[in-house]
Amino acid sequence: MTFEEIKDRALTEWAALENTDKPRIIVGAATCGRASGALHVLDRVKAELERHQLDAIIMQTGCIGLCYAEPLLDIVKPGRPRICYSNVTPEIAAHLIEDYLIKDNPQPDLALGSMGEGSVAGISNFFELPMLKPQVRIILRNCGFIDPEKLDHYIARGGYGGLVKTLKMTPEGVIQEIKKSGLRGRGGAGFPTGTKWELCRQSPGKIKYIVCNADEGDPGAFMNRSLIEGDPHSVLEGMLIGAYAIGATEGYVYIRAEYPLAIERLKLALQQATEYGFIGDNILGSGFSFHIKIKEGAGAFVCGEETALMASIEGKRGMPRPRPPFPAQAGLWGKPTNINNTETWAAVAAILHNSAEWFACYGSARSKGTKTFSLVGKVNKPQLIEVPIGITLKEIIYDIGDGVAGGKRLKGVQTGGPSGGCIPASRLDLSVDYESLTEAGSIMGSGGMVVLDEDTCMVDFARYFISFTQSESCGKCVMCRLGTKQIMDTLGKIARGQGTPEDIALLEDLGKQVKIGSLCGLGQTAPNPVLSSLRYFRNEYEEHIKKHHCAAAVCSGLVRAPCSHTCPAGIDVPRYIRFIEAGKPDESVAVIREKIPFPSVCGYVCVHPCETKCRRGQLDEAVGIRMLKRFAAEFGNGLWKQGVKAAPPTGKQVAVVGSGPAGLTAAYYLARLGHSVTVFEALPEPGGMMKVGIPDYRLPKDMLGAEIAEIENAGVKIKTNTRIENPESLLAQGYQAVFLAVGAHRGLKLGIPGEDSPQVIDCVSFLREVNLGHTVAVGDKVAVIGGGNAAIDAARTALRLGAAEVTMIYRRTRAEMPASDEEIEDALAEGVQVLFLSAPTKIAQQGKQVQLECVHMALGDVDTSGRRRPVAVKGSEFSLVFDTVIAAIGQQPEVPGELTTGGGNTIKVDLDTLATGKAGIFAGGDAVTGPASVIEAIAAGRQAAISIDKSLGGKGEIDEKLAPPEGELKPLEEAGEKRRPVMPVLPLGQRLCSFATVELGLTAELAAEEARRCLRCDLEEHE
């Protein structure tokens, strides 16, 4: 048969399939689909069709790329578009057959999208979905659309048309076409494919080989596997074209044995193509002969390197050798050889079938066409994608991948697998092309793309990759074999908290030498993850070394329990939880007091960073650490006092400016160390933001008062109504050290016309007035501008002051709101209205009211914080009338004296000592960090106490042993799934009439039950 006859037959068969009067059911059954249960779905489909005695065509396809949505089941009814259903279970499949095939209800809720002509109500166009819209399918053109085991399907969609065209051209003409297309090697290095072919063609020799490198081995990469499983003929056709152009008579596909389905389909494809006369002697009567063999690799990563790959085909140990000679001169068995990656071959077939110009209209100036990537890691929608080169990382992660999973913060993205580097979130606008990625310290690589979030520790991450390359190093060259070992050991040391500052220099120097000095690509790129993470995340390395702190709470050698490790004050959370479980709140509160003097305050209002890293959260829900702390503080008594050891007086005097959590904590510990401490407070009452920022319904003021009283009992003198204008004057008065903890009490202006109206007040001033007991009239209608915790406090306070209607105006959506979820929920429950995606533009006085002019916003581009930037929608202006407008868009410190300040008017200090530029003056808390949390301020107070004590000749030892020893410690028995208790709260009806505490606290039974959910990570054996 001629090719035309073969093609006609294939087209007829394909048309019959497309226009059949039977329904068609399509199941994506590549390895990925099978792993998620596609074959069970398929079995059920068959059984259901039989049960209902339905006649339908069932087709298996390769992977369409939507990993997160597998198994995928598509149904095409005659005359209807193809509807794609995601996450299909056998049960859902059975329902779909009954509902759609029999009852004609397409179940739009279960559908992902529809393809083809026509539409179905309630189902969007598949290719218009956000994750598909930016994609262009050239390499993966057939994946998910044809049965990969049917050669006729491939031919019907234009397959082997490129070969037929090729056979009518001269080999040089084919090479010119590839050169014109701008195709570059998709294995990662990006060498121009046409040039590579030309070198091999020009190389003298009768026997030449070509090789398809399908030894995909990067952790997290599966592009080549999916391609071969979904469309094996595209690779074979590309090889045929290459062989013709180069003058090769034999080819190899080197594919790893771990890809059994891909190998099976490739073998079948080879057999089919041979039967059709596309492979073998005198192909399609052209006189051109070519044979292909499949070589299964044993799974060594280094065999992806071309010279090692050739050694492996030759039956030798897979070890690379230096070049020159290049494979084009002397490759497989010493003959000229051309090796290209699987994806490159598939692109070749598409280029010859269409044209070089067609291919070159995709991509960037220097990198043409598309590139496939395995988008994996901490992304909402992990997928196999194909995008035009030159797309930005931002589009890939946020548009296609739907952002970071679990609402976490994006940290970076690793491209190029273990040979690549990490690109930080701040460089999300980077264009994904060979040059830009290299400039950013990474590589394009073969297409692995791993998204990292805040829970990824960069030291651990670098360590993972280097341990991979170390164990996959072939051992031949010294730099790679021993250099990566030393790098791995050094990272291990840092991860265990045994690193030294010199280790960073060692990593950088050795990394550089290994890159320059290694024999092959494996060693030359192995240090990339380490060097790029050092380039962009050096602070994490330094934190591990200097502070023995792993911010992601990952490095097991440093992190005894993630909760206590994450607590800024380092409270031994698992221990106090165990005391609660044992019914000993007194002992429990003593544990808490070993680190902080404000157990109650934290029990009520802590932002509990500990809970975000609680391992129980990965199982069902994080342990309610804050509610347990409140229980301990409420029911614990003064046992802790027995453990307190007062130090003898040192005769040194310390002044603390500001009586917030930072100031009082520092004062407390300095007094315990024997110093004479005086706290100066500008306001009439001590407590700082704990007193004047947090409303009573969240933090009862008697609790705060009791804890401040204990601080005074420790010998701290508090002078209220005393504003310090110049801290240096305190030094002149005889204080040896001054700690500035003045907080951030100045509300930020809205920056819009009319905000000087008497009806406009800033949030900090508003809350201060209310908390100091002054009468504040807010009127009936109150607007709060902002979306943080302070804005919520203001809104809920306004309700309690009698406002009938409180409206929050926030420029983004609920998902981006910085306020804590619990707070938002409570505010909504109490009747606070929120206008999302709205921003004020102008305030106009209307008698005793103001008219607030606003504009609707839409979410635009993602910014470096990973949140989408709000942009005003033209013509969407609206206005509202209010009695009071509260601006809650942020606070700044008011810095006394002449100190160096940084962004947000914060005081600049040495972060290790908290020393300001002026001798004897230290600063900490919100005044240094900008508005933060109580626990961070307490931590700053602790740090200041240590630092000031040392500056006064002490040892800075402030930790106390206050709790008695625990009994015998048992590891937790098997933990069944169980969620945390719901915190009992004041009924809604009783809330708005007063400032009574909303959260009522746990009972002893509930507390013990909750304490039992703790996994006791601290008792685990670590490396």
* Options 293, 321, 409, 547; binder of another protein; rule CB under 8 A: 321
Q: Comparing C-alpha atoms, which of 80, 75, 68 is closest to residue 35?
A: 68
Q: Is 138 exposed, middle or buried (0-12, 13-18, 19+ CB in 10 A)?
A: buried
Q: Which of residues 454-493 bind another protein (CB under 8 A)?
A: 470-479, 481-486, 489
Q: Comparing C-alpha atoms, which of 441, 421, 422, 443 is closest to residue 432?
A: 443
Q: Which is nearer to another protein, 186 or 476 (CB)?
A: 476
Q: Which of residues 250-309 bind another protein (CB under 8 A)?
A: 300, 302
Contact between 516 and another protein by CB under 8 A: the answer reads yes
Q: Are 780 and 805 in contact (CB under 8 A)?
A: yes
Residue 469 CB, shortest distance to another protein, in Å, is: 8
What b/e sequence results for 562-598 when a residue is b if at least 16 CB atoms lie within 10 Å of its CB, and e otherwise? Answer: bbbbbbbbbbbbbbbbbbbbeebbbbbbbbbbbbbbb
What is the pattern of x (binds another protein, CB under 8 A) and - over residues 519-548? x-----------------------------
Q: Is 283 exposed, middle or buried (0-12, 13-18, 19+ CB in 10 A)?
A: buried
DSSP code, position 877: -
Q: Are 29 and 42 in contact (CB under 8 A)?
A: yes
CA torsion 170-171-174-176 (nearest 10°) is -100
Contact between 908 and another protein by CB under 8 A: the answer reads no
Classified as helix, coil or strand, 647 is coil
Q: Are 389 and 363 in contact (CB under 8 A)?
A: yes
Q: Which is nearer to another protein, 321 or 1022 (CB)?
A: 321
Residue 484 CB, shortest distance to another protein, in Å, is: 7
Stretch that binds another protein, among 319-327, 578-586, 718-726, 854-862 (CB under 8 A): 319-327
719 beta partners: 680
Contact between 496 and another protein by CB under 8 A: the answer reads no
Strands 760-762 and 884-887: parallel
Q: Which is nearer to another protein, 522 or 682 (CB)?
A: 522
State how far the Cα of 306 lies from the Cα of 462, in Å rounded to an integer: 25
Q: Which is nearer to another protein, 246 or 531 (CB)?
A: 531
Q: Which of residues 117-176 bind another protein (CB under 8 A)?
A: none
Q: Which is nearer to another protein, 510 or 907 (CB)?
A: 510
Strands 421-424 and 410-415: antiparallel
Per rule CB under 8 A, count of chain residues that contact another protein: 34
Question: What tokens were used for 428?
Answer: 């999300």
Residue 129 CB, shortest distance to another protein, in Å, is: 43
Residue 302 CB, shortest distance to another protein, in Å, is: 8
State how far the Cα of 229 lies from the Cα of 255, in Å rounded to an integer: 12
Q: Which is nearer to another protein, 510 or 677 (CB)?
A: 510
DSSP code, position 984: P
Question: What tokens were used for 27?
Answer: 């199941």
Residue 1006 CB, shortest distance to another protein, in Å, is: 52
Question: What tokens were used for 894?
Answer: 């008011």
Contact between 203 and another protein by CB under 8 A: the answer reads no
Stretch that binds another protein, among 283-291, 317-325, 702-710, 794-802 (CB under 8 A): 317-325
Q: Which is nearer to another protein, 408 or 481 (CB)?
A: 481
Strands 833-835 and 805-809: parallel
Q: Which is nearer to another protein, 493 or 548 (CB)?
A: 493
Q: Comparing C-alpha atoms, which of 450, 512, 459, 445 is closest to residue 488?
A: 459
Classified as helix, coil or strand, 457 is coil
Lookup result for tokens 């090697």: 185
- Rg over CA atoms, the chain: 34
Stretch that binds another protein, among 65-73, 170-178, 504-512, 895-903 (CB under 8 A): 504-512
Q: Which is nearer to another protein, 459 or 573 (CB)?
A: 459
Residue 155 CB, shortest distance to another protein, in Å, is: 43
What is the pattern of x (binds another protein, CB under 8 A) and - over residues 723-742? --------------------
Contact between 319 and another protein by CB under 8 A: the answer reads yes
* Options 2, 20, 282, 513; binder of another protein; rule CB under 8 A: 513
* Options 29, 120, 240, 510; binder of another protein; rule CB under 8 A: 510
Residue 509 CB, shortest distance to another protein, in Å, is: 8
412 beta partners: 424, 452
Q: Which is nearer to another protein, 300 or 923 (CB)?
A: 300
Q: Which is nearer to another protein, 308 or 573 (CB)?
A: 308
Q: Comparing C-alpha atoms, which of 694, 691, 672, 670 is closest to residue 682?
A: 691
State how far the Cα of 152 lies from the Cα of 142, in Å rounded to an integer: 12
Name the amino acid, one letter, at 349: A
Residues making contact with another protein (CB under 8 A): 300, 302, 317, 319, 321-322, 324-325, 470-479, 481-486, 489, 506, 509-510, 513-514, 516-519
